[in-house]
Structure formats: structure tokens, C-alpha cells
A and B are shown apart, each in its own frame.
Chain A
Amino acid sequence: MDHSIIVEGLTKRYGDKLALDGVSFMVERGEVFGYLGPNGAGKSTTINILSGLIEPTGGTAVIDGHDVGRERVEIKKKIGVVPETSNLYDELTLQENLVFVSKLYHVPRHLREQRIARLLDSFDLGDYKARRFRGLSKGLKRRTVLAAALVHEPDILFLDEPTSGLDVVSARTLRRMIKEFKEREITVFLTTHYIEEAGLLCDRIAILVQGKIIKTDTPRALEAAAQETPVLDVRVDNRGLLSEKALSGIPAEDIRVTGDRVRIYTRDISAAINALSRLSEETGFHITEVNTLKPSLEDAFIKVTGLSADQMKTEKEGKR
């Protein structure tokens, strides 16, 4: 297997605080690897070590065959980083920013112009190239930062909360672009606090809590592992006809009624549907909709971390 990133026993200590505690994972070439975790879990510390900004206290990390401790400059040539903040230069135009970054990454002079033109085109930024970075919308800024990260055509892209704070349309555009990286065989290391986003984009997800990876798997496998008892979600008319006593006859581990919705937690879905159908004929209420609920990635996250997605989002926003 060809791996872009190999991390073994990575540790980072700030004084008494252990930010990363023996983290190990591997990312295949061309894979979109999600790194999920609550605020302070160590996501940014990991990116900072892998991108050569800070040194680890212990462990090893190899990026595209280069050791992060010894070959930082070689690694920096191979990676593109989109930090959480859109950190280009306010006083320069969009085009000037891209030219500056291309010089900083030693893009040969004869390739600069055409490469920047291609990026402006593929990110729909052409109309704004003469505008100062300061005056761009949040969505345009994120797209420009993404274009800047690609100007030297990196093999590996680190995306730190790429859609954070964006409107729905901009976030969707950015997600489409991230999906396109996969087609171009760019390895993507993505941190996000949008759990649905990780499910949509990532081939595999690692869940990080308090500096330790506690689970790594595909989104589907994480979802499947999250729910032990299947759920039957039923919508009814004439809900008033449904008494607790009548519902107790349905073979289920738990039954919860909210408004016109009945959720039946049962290992025998068939028996539960039959019982519900009989009850409907006896009492006169109508079943208008029946669904079996699939566990979500959020369920998986809650189960593994003990923290809800909302809590995670609130923490993240509180940090800003």
C-alpha cells in the first residue's frame, strides 16, 4: 500500500499538558482522511507538526517518504495547507497574493502565469483577481486560500476547518472542490467540526479525544457500530387514540412518543410492525409513514466521545 502520511506514536507536550498522546495513523495516497474531535483534542497540533510548524516531543511522522523532524523544507514543497483563518494579505489583490505565494514556493517563472490563470478559472475567481483580498467575501477568501495552497501543485493537502463560518452555497462549492481533489489523486487531510461534512467527504475518519485516537474507520462502519438497537420511526394520525397501555403490547425495548411520531426501539422490526398494524385496526388510528432509522455519523461521534455535535460546535464557536 502506498502511503502519503505515516504517523507513529506522535506526542506533543506543552509544559505539563499532553496535547498529543501517542497518536498513530496512516493515510493512503489519494485518500480523503477526516480528523474529527472536540475543541482542544489535538487536531491543530497534529496539523502543525505534520506541516513543519512545530516539533513533536516524541514519535515519528513521515510525509511522502520524508521525516518531519529532519526534512521539513522537502515536506513543505510537497504539501499545501489551508489554515482555519484565511491568512492571505489584505492589502494585496487576489492575483498579487497568488503571485507572491507562487514565488515563495519557487514555481518557475514561465509556469506562474498559466498556473495562476488556471486556478483563477477553476475556482471561479477570475472576475475578482484585481480586487483586494480585504474586500472579498468570506466564501471568496476561502476559495482564494484554497487556490493559494494549490499553486505549487502539492501532492498532499491539509485542510483545517475549510468550510467553517461559510454560507451554505460557498460551503457546498468548497465541498465540491474537495471531492475533485480525489479525482486528481491529491491526498487530503481534513479537520472539521461538521460531522455531516466529514461523512460526505472522507474515505476514513479518525476520532481524536484528549490527544488520543480512539477510533479510525470508514464513515459507514462508524455509523453501523454506533447503533445496537434498530429504530422504527412511525408517523400516525389520530394520535390521541394511542394510549401507553396499548403501545405496551408492541415487542420493543423502548418506545418514545413525540407529537405524531412514535419511535420503537426493537430488535424484531417485523413483529413490531405486525403488532402496530393490529393496534391500528383495533383502536382506529392511521399509520401515515413508517421508516427504519439509520444511525448517523453524529450518533457514532456521540457514542465514541460522549460529546454531542452541537456541544462540539458551540465549543468551537466559543473559542473564536
Chain B
Amino acid sequence: MSLAEELEGVAAIVEKDLKAYYFKPPNISWGILFPVVLALAFSLRNPEGLSELAPGLVAMAALFGTTSMEAIVITFEKRVGAFERLLLAPVSHASIMLGKILGGAVFGLVISTVMTVLTTVFLGAQITDLLGFTAALLLTVVAHSALGALVAVSVKEVFEAQTLSNYFRFPMIFLCGVFIPLRRMPQALQIVARLLPLTYSVDAFRAVMGGAGPGLILDLAVLVVYCSALVSGSVILLKRSL
């Protein structure tokens, strides 16, 4: 199997998932509504500006944008037998999972881009390092989409995927510095937060949205490790589940 054929398989799965699931009118409207409502709610709560909260909001939009659909799409396809069609095709398990993860990542990218536009154009936040921001955003959506995929391949039912996703997502919002900076949290929770990928996403976004940025490279490096580990983990779990 050549690399070109594997990439063709990945691209076909991404294109199919975007067309069949992600870019359907209800999802597009949710994708716009979710960041708009979130940004509006926080701008009303903080009329002096959102620059402090903007990095957390962008990270949260990426987290929800990627994981909300990703886990459902895979478990749904497994349930109706459509996932079997991918397994029967001459592409590796790694390419199948990569296609699935990138599909979710593209959707997450769209939602977090909407949030970025809202917070920067209308609510006073600033991107001070565009290259760093782009790298942080791309790594964040891939890492969290892979987390959604990992959840999806480890369960059988759609509702199980939703429950298990929430088990990760909601604690992350409170622990990873989205609303409360990490340094203000108890030591024990800081340790737990350091184990979660969203912490490094929020840290990285703070660094490139007007905050202090000595840790950006470290944050990006940790996100790369998370991406590799979560993608590999989802492939291993898929193979084990067969």
C-alpha cells in the first residue's frame, strides 16, 4: 500500500464525513450559534472586555466543536454497519482513524474560528502571534478530535459515547484554566489539570493572545505528544475492538 493510496483514503473519509455529517445545516447553525451565544454571555458578564477570557473561550469552542460530533459519528457508523465498509476497504486502520479524526478536527476548526473572529473583531481580544495561534489551534483541534475518536472506539452505543465524552469534557472546562487561571486552583487540582490536554491549549492561546508567552513552545510540544498518543491510542483500541 503506497503512501499516496493511504492519503487518498484519508482524504476520501474526511470529505465523506464533512458532507454526510458535519456540514449539514443543523450542525452549521449549531457551529455558529454555540460560539455566538457563549461569547455574548461572557461579554455581558464582563463588559470591560473579553481579552482575559478569550483564550479559554477559543479553547472551549475547539473542545466542544471537535468532540461533540466526533464520538457520535463513529459510534453511529459502527452501529449501522457503515464503519465496516471502511474496514473492508484497502486502507490501513491508521488511515481510517486519521480520516475520522481530521473530519472532526475540520469541524472544530470552523467553530473555533468563528469564536476567534467574534472575540477579536467584536470583543476586544487580540492575537499577538498569528503563527503561534495557528499552530496552537491546529494542534488543539487534532488532539481533542482524537480524544473523541478514542472515546468512540472504546464504546458500542451512541449514548455511551456521549456520556463518556462529557465525563472528560466538563471537568476539563473547570480544571484547565478556561475560566479560572491554573495558579489560583488548589495544588492537587493543578496536578490533575497538568494531565489534561486542554490545559496546554489554554496556556498556548493565552501566550499568543496578548499574554505572557515563555511557555508557548513547551505547550505546543506537549500538544504534539498528546496528538500522537491519542491518535495511536485510538488506532490500537480500534484494532483491539475488532
Contacts and interface: CB of A to CB of B under 8 A. Distances in A.
Q: Chain B interface: which size bin?
A: 20 to 34
Interface of A: 51-54, 73-74, 76-77, 81, 83, 85, 87-92, 96, 100-101, 103-106
B97 to A, nearest CB: 15
* Smallest CB-CB A-B distances: 5 pairs: A103-B12, A87-B81, A76-B90, A91-B20, A104-B89
A89 B20 contact: yes
B81 A85 contact: yes
Nearest to A87: B81
Contacts of B5: 106
Nearest to B86: A104
Interface of A, helix, strand, loop or mixed by DSSP: loop
Given A53-B242, A73-B90, A87 B12 contact: no
B85 A87 contact: yes
B19 interface: yes
B60 to A, nearest CB: 28
Contact of B88 (A51, A74, A91, A103): A51
Contacts of B91: 73, 104
Contacts of A91: 19-21, 24
A92 B89 contact: no
Given A89-B20, A104-B86, 6 more contacts: A73-B92, A87-B80, A100-B16, A103-B12, A104-B85, A105-B89
Contacts, number: 65
Interface in B115-156: none
A88 B85 contact: yes
Interface of B, helix, strand, loop or mixed by DSSP: helix
Most buried by B among A77, A87, A90: A87
Contact of A87 (B9, B84, B89, B90): B84
A83 B90 contact: no
B196 to A, nearest CB: 33
A77 B84 contact: no
A96 B92 CA distance: 22
A81 B87 CA distance: 11
Given A73-B90, A104-B91, A83 B81 contact: yes
Contact of A96 (B19, B84, B86, B90): B19
A22 to B, nearest CB: 23
A90 B87 CA distance: 18
Interface in B6-30: 8-9, 11-13, 15-16, 19-21, 24
Contacts of A100: 12, 15-16
B82 interface: yes
Nearest to B83: A87
